[in-house]
Chain A
Protein backbone atom coordinates (compact mmCIF):
# COMPACT_ATOMS: atom_id res chain seq x y z
CA UNK A 1 0.00 0.00 0.00
CA UNK A 2 1.26 3.41 -0.88
CA UNK A 3 1.19 5.70 2.12
CA UNK A 4 0.92 9.43 1.43
CA UNK A 5 4.00 11.17 2.81
CA UNK A 6 3.48 13.56 5.66
CA UNK A 7 3.14 17.05 4.13
CA UNK A 8 6.27 19.13 4.26
CA UNK A 9 5.99 22.04 6.67
CA UNK A 10 4.47 24.75 4.45
CA UNK A 11 4.94 27.44 7.07
CA UNK A 12 8.76 27.60 6.90
CA UNK A 13 8.72 27.56 10.70
CA UNK A 14 12.49 27.38 11.33
CA UNK A 15 13.16 30.19 8.86
CA UNK A 16 10.51 32.42 10.42
CA UNK A 17 11.86 31.71 13.87
CA UNK A 18 15.45 32.48 12.90
CA UNK A 19 14.30 35.74 11.29
CA UNK A 20 12.43 36.60 14.50
CA UNK A 21 15.70 36.18 16.45
CA UNK A 22 17.54 38.42 13.97
CA UNK A 23 14.85 41.11 14.25
CA UNK A 24 15.10 40.94 18.02
CA UNK A 25 18.87 41.52 17.92
CA UNK A 26 18.32 44.49 15.59
CA UNK A 27 15.69 45.93 17.95
CA UNK A 28 18.17 45.73 20.82
CA UNK A 29 20.84 47.47 18.73
CA UNK A 30 18.44 50.40 18.21
CA UNK A 31 18.02 50.76 21.97
CA UNK A 32 21.83 50.46 22.39
CA UNK A 33 22.49 53.24 19.88
CA UNK A 34 20.55 55.76 21.97
CA UNK A 35 22.43 54.79 25.15
CA UNK A 36 25.79 54.96 23.34
CA UNK A 37 24.79 58.31 21.83
CA UNK A 38 24.12 59.73 25.30
CA UNK A 39 27.59 58.64 26.43
CA UNK A 40 29.32 60.16 23.37
CA UNK A 41 27.44 63.46 23.78
CA UNK A 42 28.53 63.59 27.41
CA UNK A 43 32.17 62.86 26.42
CA UNK A 44 31.95 65.68 23.87
CA UNK A 45 30.70 68.09 26.53
CA UNK A 46 33.59 67.02 28.80
CA UNK A 47 36.23 67.75 26.16
CA UNK A 48 34.60 71.12 25.37
CA UNK A 49 34.71 72.24 29.01
CA UNK A 50 37.87 73.64 30.60
CA UNK A 51 38.18 71.15 33.43
CA UNK A 52 40.38 68.22 32.53
CA UNK A 53 39.35 64.61 32.95
CA UNK A 54 36.01 62.87 32.84
CA UNK A 55 32.93 64.04 34.67
CA UNK A 56 31.00 61.68 36.92
CA UNK A 57 28.17 61.84 34.42
CA UNK A 58 30.39 60.51 31.64
CA UNK A 59 31.64 57.71 33.86
CA UNK A 60 28.08 56.74 34.76
CA UNK A 61 26.94 56.86 31.13
CA UNK A 62 30.03 54.87 30.16
CA UNK A 63 28.93 52.18 32.61
CA UNK A 64 25.45 52.21 31.03
CA UNK A 65 27.00 51.93 27.56
CA UNK A 66 29.17 48.99 28.69
CA UNK A 67 26.14 47.26 30.23
CA UNK A 68 24.26 47.73 26.96
CA UNK A 69 27.18 46.15 25.06
CA UNK A 70 27.25 43.14 27.41
CA UNK A 71 23.48 42.58 27.21
CA UNK A 72 23.66 42.74 23.42
CA UNK A 73 26.48 40.20 23.40
CA UNK A 74 24.32 37.88 25.55
CA UNK A 75 21.34 38.25 23.20
CA UNK A 76 23.53 37.65 20.14
CA UNK A 77 24.87 34.45 21.74
CA UNK A 78 21.26 33.31 22.43
CA UNK A 79 20.36 34.04 18.81
CA UNK A 80 23.40 32.17 17.49
CA UNK A 81 22.59 29.14 19.65
CA UNK A 82 19.04 29.06 18.31
CA UNK A 83 20.08 29.69 14.70
CA UNK A 84 22.50 26.78 14.87
CA UNK A 85 19.75 24.45 16.11
CA UNK A 86 17.13 25.78 13.68
CA UNK A 87 19.34 25.63 10.61
CA UNK A 88 21.14 22.47 11.57
CA UNK A 89 18.95 19.84 13.10
CA UNK A 90 15.57 20.94 11.80
CA UNK A 91 16.64 21.35 8.20
CA UNK A 92 18.57 18.13 8.46
CA UNK A 93 15.37 16.47 9.60
CA UNK A 94 13.46 17.95 6.71
CA UNK A 95 15.93 16.85 4.11
CA UNK A 96 16.05 13.49 5.74
CA UNK A 97 12.46 12.88 4.73
CA UNK A 98 9.03 13.28 6.18
CA UNK A 99 9.32 10.40 8.59
CA UNK A 100 11.87 12.26 10.65
CA UNK A 101 9.62 15.11 11.73
CA UNK A 102 8.86 13.39 14.99
CA UNK A 103 12.49 12.59 15.58
CA UNK A 104 13.65 16.17 15.23
CA UNK A 105 10.77 17.87 17.01
CA UNK A 106 12.18 16.82 20.35
CA UNK A 107 15.38 18.78 19.87
CA UNK A 108 14.48 21.89 17.94
CA UNK A 109 12.35 23.70 20.53
CA UNK A 110 14.05 26.38 22.60
CA UNK A 111 15.73 25.55 25.90
CA UNK A 112 14.60 27.42 28.99
CA UNK A 113 18.16 28.67 29.57
CA UNK A 114 18.30 30.44 26.20
CA UNK A 115 14.96 32.20 26.68
CA UNK A 116 15.74 33.07 30.30
CA UNK A 117 19.07 34.58 29.25
CA UNK A 118 17.33 36.57 26.50
CA UNK A 119 14.69 37.92 28.91
CA UNK A 120 17.35 38.67 31.56
CA UNK A 121 19.47 40.58 29.03
CA UNK A 122 16.46 42.80 28.25
CA UNK A 123 15.86 43.43 31.97
CA UNK A 124 19.54 44.40 32.40
CA UNK A 125 19.26 46.72 29.39
CA UNK A 126 16.16 48.31 30.96
CA UNK A 127 18.16 49.06 34.12
CA UNK A 128 20.95 50.60 32.02
CA UNK A 129 18.35 52.63 30.08
CA UNK A 130 16.74 53.94 33.28
CA UNK A 131 20.17 54.91 34.65
CA UNK A 132 21.01 56.65 31.36
CA UNK A 133 17.72 58.60 31.55
CA UNK A 134 18.60 59.81 35.04
CA UNK A 135 22.13 60.80 33.98
CA UNK A 136 21.47 62.51 30.64
Chain B
Protein backbone atom coordinates (compact mmCIF):
# COMPACT_ATOMS: atom_id res chain seq x y z
CA UNK B 1 0.00 0.00 0.00
CA UNK B 2 1.31 3.45 -0.85
CA UNK B 3 1.48 6.13 1.78
CA UNK B 4 -1.37 8.66 1.47
CA UNK B 5 -0.62 11.97 -0.27
CA UNK B 6 -0.73 13.98 2.95
CA UNK B 7 2.39 12.18 4.14
CA UNK B 8 4.38 14.03 1.49
CA UNK B 9 3.10 17.48 2.48
CA UNK B 10 4.86 19.91 4.79
CA UNK B 11 7.97 18.87 6.70
CA UNK B 12 8.57 15.60 8.50
CA UNK B 13 8.09 16.30 12.23
CA UNK B 14 10.88 15.76 14.75
CA UNK B 15 11.01 12.01 15.38
CA UNK B 16 10.26 12.57 19.08
CA UNK B 17 6.92 14.14 18.20
CA UNK B 18 6.17 11.39 15.68
CA UNK B 19 6.83 8.75 18.30
CA UNK B 20 4.80 10.60 20.95
CA UNK B 21 1.88 10.69 18.51
CA UNK B 22 2.34 6.95 17.89
CA UNK B 23 2.30 6.24 21.64
CA UNK B 24 -0.87 8.28 22.05
CA UNK B 25 -2.46 6.15 19.32
CA UNK B 26 -1.34 2.99 21.12
CA UNK B 27 -2.71 4.27 24.45
CA UNK B 28 -6.13 4.74 22.83
CA UNK B 29 -5.87 1.29 21.23
CA UNK B 30 -5.22 -0.17 24.68
CA UNK B 31 -8.25 1.69 26.03
CA UNK B 32 -10.27 0.11 23.25
CA UNK B 33 -8.84 -3.34 24.07
CA UNK B 34 -9.67 -2.84 27.76
CA UNK B 35 -13.30 -2.15 26.79
CA UNK B 36 -13.35 -5.35 24.70
CA UNK B 37 -11.81 -7.47 27.46
CA UNK B 38 -14.22 -5.93 29.99
CA UNK B 39 -17.27 -6.59 27.85
CA UNK B 40 -16.45 -10.29 27.34
CA UNK B 41 -15.37 -10.70 30.97
CA UNK B 42 -18.61 -9.23 32.38
CA UNK B 43 -20.65 -11.44 30.09
CA UNK B 44 -18.81 -14.62 31.09
CA UNK B 45 -17.89 -14.09 34.73
CA UNK B 46 -21.01 -12.33 36.01
CA UNK B 47 -23.95 -14.19 34.45
CA UNK B 48 -26.36 -13.27 37.28
CA UNK B 49 -25.43 -9.65 37.10
CA UNK B 50 -28.46 -8.58 35.05
CA UNK B 51 -31.25 -10.27 33.11
CA UNK B 52 -29.80 -12.04 30.05
CA UNK B 53 -30.96 -9.64 27.35
CA UNK B 54 -29.89 -6.51 29.25
CA UNK B 55 -26.48 -8.02 29.97
CA UNK B 56 -25.92 -8.96 26.33
CA UNK B 57 -26.99 -5.51 25.10
CA UNK B 58 -24.73 -3.71 27.62
CA UNK B 59 -21.74 -5.89 26.78
CA UNK B 60 -22.25 -5.55 23.02
CA UNK B 61 -22.52 -1.75 23.43
CA UNK B 62 -19.17 -1.76 25.28
CA UNK B 63 -17.58 -3.85 22.50
CA UNK B 64 -19.03 -1.50 19.86
CA UNK B 65 -17.56 1.52 21.67
CA UNK B 66 -14.23 -0.34 21.61
CA UNK B 67 -14.47 -0.84 17.84
CA UNK B 68 -15.39 2.81 17.18
CA UNK B 69 -12.56 3.94 19.46
CA UNK B 70 -10.01 1.91 17.47
CA UNK B 71 -11.08 3.60 14.21
CA UNK B 72 -11.20 7.07 15.80
CA UNK B 73 -7.73 6.62 17.30
CA UNK B 74 -6.25 5.96 13.85
CA UNK B 75 -8.03 9.01 12.38
CA UNK B 76 -6.83 11.14 15.28
CA UNK B 77 -3.25 9.97 14.79
CA UNK B 78 -3.47 10.93 11.09
CA UNK B 79 -4.97 14.35 11.86
CA UNK B 80 -2.33 15.12 14.46
CA UNK B 81 0.46 14.11 12.09
CA UNK B 82 -1.02 16.29 9.35
CA UNK B 83 -1.20 19.23 11.76
CA UNK B 84 2.42 18.68 12.83
CA UNK B 85 3.59 18.44 9.22
CA UNK B 86 1.93 21.73 8.29
CA UNK B 87 2.82 23.56 11.50
CA UNK B 88 -0.81 23.93 12.49
CA UNK B 89 -2.30 23.88 15.94
CA UNK B 90 -3.15 20.40 17.17
CA UNK B 91 -6.90 19.94 16.95
CA UNK B 92 -8.99 19.95 20.08
CA UNK B 93 -9.90 16.42 20.98
CA UNK B 94 -13.54 15.59 21.67
CA UNK B 95 -12.42 12.02 22.34
CA UNK B 96 -11.44 12.88 25.90
CA UNK B 97 -14.88 14.27 26.70
CA UNK B 98 -16.69 11.48 24.85
CA UNK B 99 -14.74 8.75 26.63
CA UNK B 100 -15.17 10.41 30.03
CA UNK B 101 -18.93 10.63 29.50
CA UNK B 102 -19.11 7.10 28.07
CA UNK B 103 -17.16 5.45 30.88
CA UNK B 104 -19.05 7.46 33.55
CA UNK B 105 -22.38 6.46 32.05
CA UNK B 106 -21.33 2.80 31.90
CA UNK B 107 -20.21 2.92 35.55
CA UNK B 108 -23.54 4.53 36.54
CA UNK B 109 -25.57 1.90 34.67
CA UNK B 110 -23.56 -0.93 36.21
CA UNK B 111 -23.89 0.58 39.70
CA UNK B 112 -27.68 0.87 39.33
CA UNK B 113 -27.93 -2.70 38.02
CA UNK B 114 -25.90 -4.03 40.95
CA UNK B 115 -28.07 -2.08 43.45
CA UNK B 116 -31.43 -3.23 42.07
CA UNK B 117 -30.27 -6.82 41.64
CA UNK B 118 -32.77 -9.15 43.36
Contacts and interface: CB of A to CB of B under 8 A. Distances in A.
B16 A11 contact: yes
A31 B37 CA distance: 4
A30 interface: yes
Contact of B34 (A27, A132, A133): A27
A132 to B, nearest CB: 6
Which residue among B19, B56, B67, B71 has the maximum number of chain A CB atoms within 10 Å of its CB? B19
B71 A123 contact: yes
B30 to A, nearest CB: 5
Contacts of A112: 1, 3-4, 7, 78
B70 A20 contact: no
Interface residues on A, range: 35 or more
B64 interface: yes
Secondary structure class of chain B's binding surface, majority of residues:
helix
Interface string B31-70: 0111011011101100000000000100110011011001
A126 interface: yes
Given A17-B22, A23-B30, A24-B26, A113 B40 contact: no
Contacts of B15: 13, 90, 101, 104-105, 108-109
A59 interface: no
A111 B3 CA distance: 7
Interface string A100-136: 0100111011111101101100110111011011101
A16 interface: yes
A110 B18 contact: yes
A50 interface: no
Given A14-B19, A119-B71, A30 B37 contact: yes
B14 A119 contact: no
30 contacts: A17-B19, A20-B27, A27-B29, A27-B34, A30-B37, A31-B33, A41-B44, A90-B15, A101-B15, A105-B14, A108-B15, A109-B12, A109-B13, A111-B3, A112-B1, A115-B22, A119-B29, A119-B73, A119-B74, A122-B32, A122-B36, A122-B67, A126-B63, A126-B67, A127-B67, A130-B39, A130-B64, A132-B40, A134-B60, A136-B43
Given A24-B29, A109-B13, A133-B56, 4 more contacts: A20-B22, A105-B13, A115-B74, A126-B63
